[in-house]
Amino acid sequence: MLDHTRCLSLLLALFAASLPLRAAAAKGPPSPEGSRSPLPEGTTASAARHGIVLLDLVGLPADQAALEREAPGAVVFAQAVSQGAAAGPSAASLLTSQYVQNHGLVVAGDRISTTAATMADAFGGAGYATAGFAADASLDPKSGVAQGFKTSDFKADSSSAAFQQATDAAVRWLAAQHGPFFLYWHGVRPAAESLEAFRALRKAAPAGTVLVLTAGAGLGGGPELGERTVHVPLLIWSPDLKPRRVAEVVRLVDLGPALLEWAKITVPDSFQGASLAPLAEGRSATPRYGFSASGTAPGKPSLFSIRGEGWQMIYDKASGEARLFDLKADPDMKTDLSESRPDIGLDLTQRLMRHLRETKASARRGGQLSPDLLRQMREKGYW
């Protein structure tokens, strides 16, 4: 008779064998840097009053106490989960609101799917000025992350000098804005330098700006896709939101839909996140799970993670191994509890299966589903 651990691994292996995890949509020839993907019909000019600054500072610790002291008044998401383990895949998920297995940017040299719209596409299509600045040797603008930005300067350089140059360029761009805008700033430097960039951009932002601070990937350490990699900071300062601490799990793919919702801009059908607006506003929402993925082969993630309230499971498709961790008792993720807690393991297995099945289906038929049905599926936690 099979034990619980072998049953769990067998169940996952059987599922993985039947499910090609690459998005079914054909990628086609690369589109020029800065070009826009088609947006859904009905995208209209924004009625929002504010500009938006999104700072993606890779490596910032998930402990947000220092950030809260630095700038009080934020909505703080205590359990924000990144969708990737590295800067490129994570930035692609943040900007496209798609999971790694769907946008396809897994390793260096990959490009995001040509069917994926970005936040820059959506904001630009609604009349916003858009700009993206970055200083990171691992973030290639040719991968498609610069798609939709009218102004972009993605430096393939992680040095302190390049980081400062990108910060200065972003500050100058902000100073020249006199209407609604969307600015994305990405960098990877130690926390002290990152905080200096945050202070500079916060000071330069016009009154009423919505300011978002996150990290596409954490400091790392422990297992790949573990707590120190995918648990990241997420704070939002907005004149329209009351300060609060959100304890529920959210995903970085949930951010784009919320920012567009607040700006009264139609969310592209290709977005897979469920808006975190209800939680940010203090309203109830269906519990959600954090999904992450990584891999070493072009376009094909092979390691998957699901995080719930206090538990995380990591599944290695190549070996068929599934490991389960109690994050409250074992934050360093050293003890595999898949044998002693098969009930938790099987529940997370079923949820991971459904996630992979539904996100694959969304890539194949998303354009055929009504916006209302897509919204309901997101809200019910299918994605």
Torsion sign across C-alpha atoms 115, 117, 118, 124: positive
Q: Which residues contact 142 (CB under 8 A, 6 or more apart)?
A: 30, 33, 111
If we measure between CA atoms, which residue out of 204, 307, 205, 203 comes closest to residue 252?
Answer: 307
pLDDT band with cut points at 50, 70 and 90 for residue 266: very high
CA–CA distance, 314 with 330 (Å, rounded to integer): 15
Mean per-residue pLDDT, 268-285? 95
State the chain's mean pLDDT as an integer: 84
pLDDT at residue 185 in the model: 97
Distance (Å) of CA 281 to CA 57, 165, 287? 24, 36, 15
- Among residues 254, 299, 249, 286, the alpha carbon closest in space to that of 272 is found at 254
Tell me the C-alpha distance between 168 and 328, whole Å.
41
Q: Does residue 369 carry a pLDDT above 80? A: no
Give residue-wise pLDDT tens across range 43-102.
333 334 589 999 999 978 777 777 888 889 999 999 999 999 999 999 999 999 999 999
Mean pLDDT of the region 1-15? 50
Sheet (strand 290-294) strand order? 290-294, 303-307, 311-316, 321-326
Q: For domain 1-15+53-383, which CATH number applies: 3.40.50.10490, 3.30.420.40, 3.90.1300.10, 3.40.720.10? A: 3.40.720.10
- The CA-CA-CA angle for residues 327, 322, 351, to 5°, reads 75
- A 10 A CB-CB count for 330 gives 14
Residue 232 pLDDT > 60 = yes
pTM: predicted TM-score of the whole model, two decimal places: 0.84
133-152 per-position pLDDT tens digit = 999 999 998 899 999 999 99
Alpha-carbon distance 295 to 301, whole Å? 4
Domain ranges of the chain: 1-15+53-383
* SS3 of residue 354 by DSSP: helix
Task: Give φ, ψ of 224 to 5 degrees.
Answer: -60, 140
Dihedral angle of Cα 36, 39, 41, 45, to the nearest 10 degrees: -70
pLDDT single digits (tens) 179-203: 999 999 999 999 889 999 999 999 9
Q: DSSP for 281-336, please give it.
A: TT-------EEEEE-SBTTB--EEEEE-SSEEEEEETTTTEEEEEETTT-TT----
